[in-house]
Amino acid sequence: MADEIGVLIVDDSALMRNLIGKMVEATPGLVIAEKAMNGVFALQKIPRVNPDVIVLDLEMPEMNGIEFLKERKKQGIKIPVIILSSVASRGAEITMEALALGASDFIQKPSGSVSEDIHTVKDSLMGMLLGYGGRYRKLQGKKLLPADYTKKPDAVHVVPDSATPKPKSSIFSMTFSSTPMPAKPPAPFRKPAKTEIIAIGISTGGPDALRVVFSQIDVDLQVPIVVVQHMPPGFTNEFAKSLDRICPLEVKEAEEGDLIKPGRILIAQGNKHLEVMKKSLAAIAHLSDEPLVSGHRPSADVLFGSVAKVYGNHALGVIMTGMGRDGAEKLGDIYQEGGLTIGQDETSAVVYGMPRVAFELGHVMEQVPLDRMASRICSLAKTQK
């Protein structure tokens, strides 16, 4: 179908190409554009098949994933790339290098470079392909079957054009219906006060989005930031380091007892909930192994809930691109306590799921595009008295 998202699968394993290909074929809205066994063949096939998104292995002969990304950048190819990263000892470091070279996002292979159990990450991978590939098609002026990303990752599906009117004002829409309308917002207990903490919840599309926000954040921002980015364990430390290199503020992976202090950004560890706790002298980070919340650990709902409890109307909550609804409910706690809340807008979100649900619940005071997110966060944090 002409409106389907074309996927180029690049992996040196014939088994992996076959397994990924079957998942693509079974996903409405996606179609296999071509397959390639390494970066050299991929570059040769791109002009002919013109894919909308690329699935890229990192460890391949002749031209590996990193070398492909360097050549892609040199040739000015803008097609989004999703990395399939193995659990090799240097997997996290190499994956972060790939993101720095322009890859959009990554999925961790469950059991090494040849993962026969790759089906366990099918929902996340297919969601990313629909999200990034769909956004690229829209930016290229191509038609696209709309999909619903407000549901859990395992419930993502696409509906035909004839069944769903698409909003005309959006560059990229993944919805069942026209532009969402918020419910009546809950009544806040008090008015907003001086911002003392900024909490961000983000998922699919997050690595790219956070690089944009934190590279543009003001160097003189004197408000601590805590972040939940859905990411597997073993990767968040390298991710924090990669953000620290481009951000004027300190960025680090959160550790138990870390001080919540001005000029510091803490990134939640993979597979650990992040909460803020108030001690006699300062607020600190607390990590826990409590059960999944909203389908995730770390969960933005857990973070937002703790921020609302500890900081009340001195908090700024931010919900950004991502599938599902994690963070949407507890962002409302910050709102009800009198804190400020903003959400990424539909046009700039790779997947307008989490921010959409929060907006429809009436928990978002203002929707902000990605290219203005850093300046708006800083403006609100600095001007609120």
What percentage of the chain has pLDDT greater than the value 70? 87
Catalytic residue among 203, 299, 306, 348: 203
**Residue 318: which of 276, 252, 357, 366 has the closest Cα?**
366
Burial 323-353 (b: 16+ CB within 10 A, else e): bbbbbbbbbbbbbbbbbbbbbbbbbbbbbbb
Pairing state between β 81-85 and 225-229? unpaired
At 157 the pLDDT is: 36
Predicted confidence (pLDDT) at residue 380 exceeds the cutoff of 80:
yes
Please tell me the predicted confidence (pLDDT) of residue 171: 26
pLDDT bin (cut points 50, 70, 90) of residue 90 is low
Provide mean pLDDT across the span 298-304. Answer: 98
Asked if residues 183 and 193 have their Cβ atoms less than 8 Å apart, the reply is no
Q: What pLDDT score does 383 carry?
A: 83
Reported as type and span, the H/E element at residue 344 is strand 340-344
**Per annotation, catalytic residue among 11, 208, 230, 345:** 230
More confident residue, 333 or 123: 333
- Residue 117's pLDDT is what? 76
Protein fold of 197-383: Rossmann fold (3.40.50)
For residue 182, name the pLDDT band (cuts at 50, 70, 90).
Answer: confident
Q: Residue 308: CB partners within 8 Å, gap ≥ 6?
A: 315, 317, 330, 333, 334, 336, 337, 339
Q: What is the mean pLDDT of residues 187-212?
A: 92
pLDDT tens, 222-262?
999 999 999 988 889 999 999 999 999 999 999 999 999 99
Query: Which pLDDT tens digit goes with each residue over 307-317?
Result: 999 999 999 99
The pTM is what? 0.86
CATH of 5-163, one of 3.40.30.10, 3.40.50.2300, 3.40.1710.10, 3.40.50.150: 3.40.50.2300
Evaluate whether 5-163 and 197-383 have a shared fold. Answer: yes
Crossing angle of helices 91-100 and 65-75, rounded to 10°: 0
The residues spanned by each domain of the chain are 5-163, 197-383
Q: Are 324 and 349 in contact (CB under 8 A)?
A: no
Helices (H), 159-224: 206-216
Asked if residue 174 has pLDDT above 60, the reply is no
306 labelled catalytic: no
Asked if the bond preceding 233 is cis, omega within 30° of 0, the reply is no
CB burial of residue 40 (10 Å; 0-12, 13-18, 19+): middle
Percentage of the chain exceeding pLDDT 90: 73
294 part of the active site: no
The most confident of the ranges 122-131, 183-192, 315-324 is 315-324
Residue 115 has pLDDT above 60, yes or no: yes
Per-residue confidence (pLDDT) for residue 87, from 0 to 100: 54
| 180, pLDDT greater than 60 | yes
The average pLDDT across 126-144 equals 89
Residue 109 has a pLDDT of 82
The yes-or-no verdict on residue 2 having pLDDT over 80 is no
What does the pLDDT average to over 203-230? 96
- Comparing 158-162, 168-172, 237-241, 253-257, the range with the smallest average pLDDT is 168-172
pLDDT > 90? residue 27: yes
Distance CA 109, CA 55 (A): 12
| 16, 223, 249, 385 from 381: Cα distances, Å | 47, 7, 15, 9
**In terms of pLDDT, which residue wins out, 373 or 145?**
373
Q: What is the pLDDT of residue 160?
A: 36
Q: What 3-state class would DSSP assign to 199?
A: strand
Active site residue 230: yes
Q: Which of 57, 326, 333, 345 is catalytic?
A: 326
**Is the distance from CB of 119 to CB of 94 less than 8 angstroms?**
no
| Residue pLDDT, tens place only, 334-378 | 999 999 999 999 999 999 999 999 999 999 999 999 999 999 999
